[in-house]
Every structure is written in C-alpha cells, then in structure tokens.
Amino acid sequence: MLLCTARSLPVASPRATVRLGVQDMEGTGPETGGQVFDPIGLSKIASSETLAWYRAAELKHGRIAMAAVTGWAWVSSGGPLFPGYISVEQGITFESLGRDGYAAWDATPENGKAQILGIVGLLEILGESAIKPHYMAGGTPGKIPLLWDPLGFTAKLSSEVLAEKRVSELKNGRLAMIGVMSLVSAHFIPNSVPLLP
C-alpha cells in the first residue's frame, strides 16, 4: 500500500511555472454564460497549480463516469455479458454475477477485487509519472500519454478542432457525473429519479 501514497509519486519541480489561470481554462460556453463554472468560488482561493489539479481531477472523474454510465446502460439493458469464469476455483462465472452492479461487486471474489483495485492504482501511478510536463508544472490537465489517443486519431486534427473536442469531453464528463449519480440514486431510492425504473 505504500506504493500508492502521495509521497511515492513524483513531485513537480518548484522552479516550473504554471500558466493556467481560471480565465485561461477550457470549458466555458453558453451553458455557463461564457464564464468558467465555479459556483462556490474555488478559483478565487486556489493557486494555478491547484486549479490544474482540480481540472485534471474533473477530467479523470468525468472519464470514469462516462465509462460507468455506458457500462450501467449496457448491463441493465440486457447487453451480453462476458463468457467464462471469473473464478474457476469457486465456480463463479461472469454471468452468475447478474446485472446489478452492487450485488455483482459483493459476489466478486476478494482476489478479483484486489486485481481491479491494483490495476486502478497502477494506472494512477503510471498516469501521474508519465506526464511530461506534469499538469501542475505547465502541462495539459487530462493529457495522459499512455492512454490518450494511442492510435493517433487526433494527430491530423487542427488545434481548433482538438480544443473543441477537449471541451466536448469536459462537458460530456460533467453530464456523465450527474448521470451516474442519478443512476445510483435511482438504485438505492426507488422513484427518486423521474424516468428511471
């Protein structure tokens, strides 16, 4: 567990300058009146390094939420499940886990949970250490060389189109975070979210 502590992660050089200010951040649009969405004023008390960290966290959580909403929709709508065993020794198949995500997590063997959490931790460490320059030292928040566009689909895009796609990802991630919270609420509190069973 020591590998996942903050002390084990690389630290940005104190000599590096960060040029990110709230006025320079992507994500403004007609939805927010042309302003950066900051309803509780965090940008007024945060340094530019902290703003970069906030944005990187927002992008990361948005990406996870987009995957969660997609997975939730796939499984709950009857999409096919993985064939085979999740644990041969215990006789647990992927299909036997069912379509309820919380019950499936409870039924997943402890070794499987450890593997999932280990991969997530490894991706986090690799993502934080592979970014050059780091987003807190002037790099682009959310740009992870190991995971961002490994097939080079965006290499031919102009900088304007690429900026538009980054803003789309940010806004879709924000919507997905709201969506996944709606799905969780509907799961635990019946009839709490209109139009969801």
Q: Write out the binding residues for chlorophyll b.
A: 61, 63
d(CA 98, CA 188): 17
- Which of these, 13, 24, 15, lies nearest to 48 by C-alpha position? 24
Binding site as annotated, residues for chlorophyll a: 43, 58, 169, 172, 174
d(CA 91, CA 154): 44
- Asked if 145 and 131 touch (Cβ cutoff 8 Å), the reply is yes
Binding site as annotated, residues: 43, 58, 61, 63, 169, 172, 174
Kindly report the backbone phi and psi dihedral angles of residue 167, in degrees, each rounded to the nearest multiple of 5, phi listed first. Answer: -65, -40
d(CA 126, CA 144): 9
